[in-house]
Structure 1
Amino acid sequence: MTNGSYYPPAHTDQIKVSFPQEHVMLLTFNRPKSLNAMTPIMAQDIKSVLDWFDDEPSLWVVIVTGEGRAFCAGADLIEWNKRQAGGGASKDQGDLKKHTDGFGSISRRYSSSKPMIAAVNGGAFGGGMETILNCDLVIASEDAKLALPEVKRGVVAIQGGMPRLARIAGHQLASEMLLLGKTISATEAASRFGFVNKVVPKSEVLPTALAWAAEINQNSPDSVQSTKRALLLANRLGSVEDTVIAHVDSEESKRAFASANIQEGLKAFAEKRKPIWKNPAKL
């Protein structure tokens, strides 16, 4: 599907939005000279575009990546220093509660049941690291470096990274990154810490992400989105029984059971043919 087929909301040049294949949106952080460090304007652009993406039935997967040699260096510390010097500490802390989707409108994003793939083409630090921890699939380049170095700058990885890393890696390994501010390689992130799915040469990061998006989209979008909702509920609730009940009662689960796609999937199986999926109904 061409770029002209969709009309995302207006945004600045701090991000780029494109549609490289059917049902897929590519969101690119676009401040390469600043290693894609996040600004308030950039974060607002991302929120606006992702909110629109969530509401567009024909878009099923989003890939997030960075322009240039980094994925995202975290918050723009130069701008943050200026706010601190101007007495902005209390506002910064208040914004953490106000901006419920977290860093870059991604690190604590819970409302969306559409899959998000991180194509990590280089360094991911601080909030950039917190962002990929909340993605469903993470593909990283062989030269990618990953860190939560907040303690080295007197700040805290408070945008969702700490509990999520602890859940994925366990207390001790999470402490190794969080308390030491240690930088790790993509290979370590995959083999020791467990939050990177695949490590590939840099030239293969985006092609691999696109291939995985295409593989996801061979499945029923209703089933995929209901499944992601179950994963999100499992992380939030913990209890198996509570998660099952909450999932059954979720809008995504109700839609999946009532959808044309469940009928199509079962019929295609009986007829020994490939199913033809329809866009999910809006929730």
Structure 2
Amino acid sequence: MSSSAPTSPPPSSQTYLLTHPTPHTLLITLNRPSSMNALPHSAHWDLSALLTWYDASPTLRVAIITGAGTKAFCAGQDLLELRQLRDAPPPTPAEAAQRRHPRSGFAGLSRREGRKPVIAAVNGVALGGGFEICLNCDMTIASPTATFGLPEALRGIYAGAGGLPRLIRTVGLQVASEIALTGRTLNAQEAKELRLINHISRTPESLVEEAVELAKQVAKISPDAAIVTRAGLRQAWETASVERAYQITQERFGEALIGGENAKEGLRAFAEKREPRWLPSKL
């Protein structure tokens, strides 16, 4: 583990593995390869708690999420668990609440607002909730073997984890309708042409390495600027008015960013022709 690892331990879970492949970077690996990394209900709450911890960790600046194995990033909800629960006695109110998604959505990501960026490294199948994770991540790199789709309507349900409005914002009504109303699968090249992903990795094996290289670029910028820039981008995505989106971000962060130590350090480093020595963000 690098010296930039957080000082407090992360929440533990059987759902994921955690590593720090490079300073200031958290790699989250969904660890249910025998189930195509499909997630049980408890996993959504575990991952939501993990991402809350990540946002609050002073030394972490960027996270990557990927799947264990070579077949699947995440195949959505664990349907075997759903079948078992339907045959079980009615749940208590506490159990029923636990079976719903947290406010941050599927895997704690599909509706997450958060403070810091998350990069999806899609190593295989990303279906249903797995695709909805990607639709709300800040950047996505896909293996050449990756596939994407929302097959829920084929099963008599719908993509209800926040992916539909995000899909529309990215590709428009007509293309989103074709994807969601037919349940068809997109390959990596189709996803890239539709701007659903940023890059296709050179090989399946180099996927995580390339995601880490992208994370390094993000980690090099000011931690304050990363938080504010990301907030401005997402505000524009969520808000109908471009001008109002600007105002919200400026009112929330403008003075705090310019008056902060990292802005001063960035200007000093520029004047002294050296790399900046960033401090953990206080925003």
Task: Give how far 1:8 is off.
Answer: 2.9
Contact 1:222 1:255 in 2 (8 A): no
- Aligned equivalent of 1:81: 83
**1:3, 1:88 → 2: CA distance?**
48
- Aligned equivalent of 2:270: 269
Q: Flag the 1:67–1:155 CA change in 2: closer, same or farther, 3 A.
A: same
Stretch deviating more after TM superposition (11-20 or 225-234): 11-20
Residue 132 of structure 1 aligns with an amino acid whose one-letter code is C
Query: Does residue 181 in structure 1 map to residue 169 in structure 2?
Result: no
Runs of 4+ in 1 over 4 A off after TM superposition: 85-89, 91-98
Pairing 1:1-283 to 2, within 5 Å after superposition: 1-2=1-2, 5-6=5-6, 7-69=8-70, 70-86=72-88, 99-110=102-113, 112-191=114-193, 193-200=194-201, 201-250=203-252, 252-281=253-282, 283=283
Q: Flag the 1:3–1:104 CA change in 2: closer, same or farther, 3 A.
A: farther
Task: Give how far 1:221 is off.
Answer: 1.1
Q: Flag the 1:3–1:140 CA change in 2: closer, same or farther, 3 A.
A: farther
**1:254, 1:163 → 2: CA distance?**
32
Task: Give how far 1:130 is off.
Answer: 0.1
Q: Flag the 1:244–1:215 CA change in 2: closer, same or farther, 3 A.
A: same
Q: Secondary structure at the match of 1:277?
A: coil
**2:32, 2:161 → 1: CA distance?**
21
Once the two structures are superposed, residues 57-111 of structure 1 have per-residue CA deviations (whole angstroms, 9 ceiling, x without a partner) of: 110001000001210000001112233445879x89987986210101100001x
Residue 80 of structure 2 aligns with an amino acid whose one-letter code is I
Residue 264 of structure 1 aligns with an amino acid whose one-letter code is E
Q: Flag the 1:259–1:33 CA change in 2: closer, same or farther, 3 A.
A: same
Q: What's the TM-score, normalizing by structure 1? A: 0.91
**1:87, 1:171 → 2: CA distance?**
41
Contact 2:149 2:179 in 1 (8 A): yes
Q: Secondary structure at the match of 2:205?
A: helix
**1:196, 1:263 → 2: CA distance?**
34
Contact 2:42 2:98 in 1 (8 A): no
**1:181, 1:77 → 2: CA distance?**
17
Q: Gapped runs of 5+ residues in structure 2?
A: none
Once the two structures are superposed, residues 12-65 of structure 1 have per-residue CA deviations (whole angstroms, 9 ceiling, x without a partner) of: 322111111111111110000001001122222211211111111110001000
Residue 63 of structure 1 aligns with an amino acid whose one-letter code is I
Q: What's the TM-score, normalizing by structure 2? A: 0.91
C-alpha RMSD of matched pairs (Å): 2.2
